[in-house]
Structure 1
Amino acid sequence: MPKAETSPVESVDRALLLLLLMRERGPVSVKTAAEHLAVAPSTAHRLLSALAFRGFVSQDRERRYRLGPALMDRSMEPFSISRLREYARGPLLELHSRLGETVQLMVLRGGNIQFIDGVESESSLRVGMRIGDQMPAFVSAGGKAILAQLSNAELEELYRNGLPAWPTSRITTMAMLKRSMTKVRRAEFGTNFEETEQGVSGVGVSIGDVTGRPVAAVTVATPSIRFRRVDMAVHVAALRQAAASIEERIAQASR
């Protein structure tokens, strides 16, 4: 009988099989990876750690592994800034109509967030839009929602040179950032109570692509004098609906 075909370098073959698995199924746990390869969890963990070291995979907030930045072809991403604005425009208008406050779309730029679109409130007392502006992600409700989707290792890499200073920030150390992100992960939304600037309160949720990678966030910003904690649930529900609509548009474009 002919011998079964085997790879000349077994460890390389196993690593490639894991990448194919993630491309097919999305994020996988160490246990799933071990079962797929029929190896011990410790062996699967070593392979995944080696892939993560070179950026071929990264961990999500549930410590599962997904395809990393080294394998992302930027020219083929369906959510370029212009496309992302296109996917989000309808949901942003609906969100604005529902809440009556300024709503904004943002993306991560290094350790900052950048505002790329929005709809401004028509109230005489309102939060102005910041299209094109950047600020540290950890002071923004939407930025926190995005950062919470990253692992602690990814946060450390993102801010490897330390957290940038911001006049109204309440997060000043990596330890404080990690603790804050743990709370945001549990809540599944971010908040900003006069952390971006005095007089502004905000709530934000992240937007993911088909693999679960965070690609943007949507927020509602309210003058603090008008913001009521009892309205939080309404804001969160509306934001989640808007995020789900944008994610569905991203998914459709990826098919």
Structure 2
Amino acid sequence: MGYAFSVEQNLYRVEAVDRAMVLLTLLAERGSLSVTEAATSLGVAPSTAHRLLTTMAGRGFVEQGERKLYRPGPQLLGLRTPQRSIPALVARMRPVLQTLHDEVRETVHLVVLAGPDVQFVYGIEGQQALRIGLRIGSRIPAYCTSGGKAIFAALSADAVDELHPDGLRPWPGRNAGSLAELHAELDRVRWRGYGVNTEESERGVAALGVAVGADAAQPVGAISISLPTARYAPDDEPRLVAPLRAAQAEAVRVLGG
């Protein structure tokens, strides 16, 4: 059943905005929502509900999770960076990622920490025939991603543990099965200076990532280079790490301005 409104309320109602507010209310109540459920609640066609949810996802108010269910996004959850907002961070980092993308010709992403997960907030798809697609809007356990590992490596062990009060959330390709194993991996990330993900976040995907921020001890996110494992070998890392570190240095300048 859809939500009812009085005649007086209807006189001043903007239909699309009103529907978006109803969806936000439903998400707050239920925690997740399918396109079919959204359409039924609004009394509209599934295609209309899908357009609304897609628009809201583009602004970070919702995100699509497992089984194609939509759930509250970082903006709705109150996620903020020291740059005050994700859009502001993206605006500052966009030229940095463009330069990195032009040099490596692989898919690059910007992620931010959202609890124990990373949220993919911006990206540029690679130019290779065989490439990794964009993940903008996706949310994955941080410990399974190169950028998430890089962010965790900049935090204290206690801070990482506080983000996982019930242990690590199971994920199909994960390497670390416990917090102890994760901390061992983070030690290796600190030694290398960057995180590595080889088919942990997704089968067939390899990635290298570094944390970014005006202060190395307080990262506001991470940037990563992703490529198919069919074209990846550990010996290739120096070719990718050099421009990745250059982008990290430029990010420090941009975010500190």
Distance (Å, rounded) in 2 between the aligned partners of 1:250 and 1:243: 10
Q: 2:224, 2:90 → 1: CA distance?
A: 14
TM-score, normalised by the number of residues in structure 2: 0.67
Amino acid at match of 1:219: S
2:180 corresponds to 1:178: no
The residue type paired with residue 108 of structure 1 is L
Aligned counterpart for 2:209 among listed residues 204, 212, 219:
204
Correspondence for 1:156: 161
Provide the residue aligned with 1:191 in structure 2.
Answer: 196
Listed as ranges, the gaps of 5+ residues in structure 1 are: 1-73
3-state DSSP class of the match of 1:225?
helix
Deviations 1:141-195 (A, max 9, x none): 1110000011111111111121101011111101101111111111110000111
Specify which of 105, 108, 112 is matched with residue 110 of structure 2: 105
- From 144, 149, 167, the counterpart of 1:144: 149
Q: State the alpha-carbon separation in 2 of the partners of residues 105 and 189 from structure 1.
A: 14
Amino acid of the residue matched to residue 221 of structure 1? S
Equivalent residue, structure 2, for 1:135: 140
Equivalent residue for 1:119?
124
Distance 1:169 1:223 in 2: 17
The 8 Å contact of residues 79 and 250 in structure 1, kept in 2 or not, is answered as no
Aligned length: 179
Query: Residue 131 of structure 2 aligns to which amino acid in structure 1?
Result: R
Tell me what 1:90 maps to: 95
CA displacement, residues 91-115 of structure 1 (integer Å, 9 cap, x when unaligned)? 1111111001000000000000000
2:230 to 225, 228, 231: 225
Q: CA deviation at 1:234?
A: 2.0
TM-score norm. by structure 1 comes to: 0.67
Q: What's the offset of the Cα at 1:76?
A: 9.2
> 2: CA distance between counterparts of 1:239 and 1:79?
25
Aligned in 2, Cα 1:199/1:76: closer, same or farther, shift over 3 Å?
A: closer
Do 2:106 and 2:225's aligned partners in 1 also have CA atoms closer than 8 Å? yes
**2:103 alignment partner, SS class:** helix
Q: What RMSD in Å do the two structures reach over aligned CA positions?
A: 1.6
Q: Aligned pair in 2 of structure 1 residues 223, 211: CA closer, same or farther (>3 Å)?
A: closer
Kindly provide the amino acid, as one letter, of the partner of residue 218 in structure 1: I
Evaluate the alpha carbon distance shift between residue 241 and residue 112 of structure 1 in structure 2; reply closer, same or farther with a 3 A threshold: same
Relative contact order, higher structure (CA 8 A, sep 6+): 1
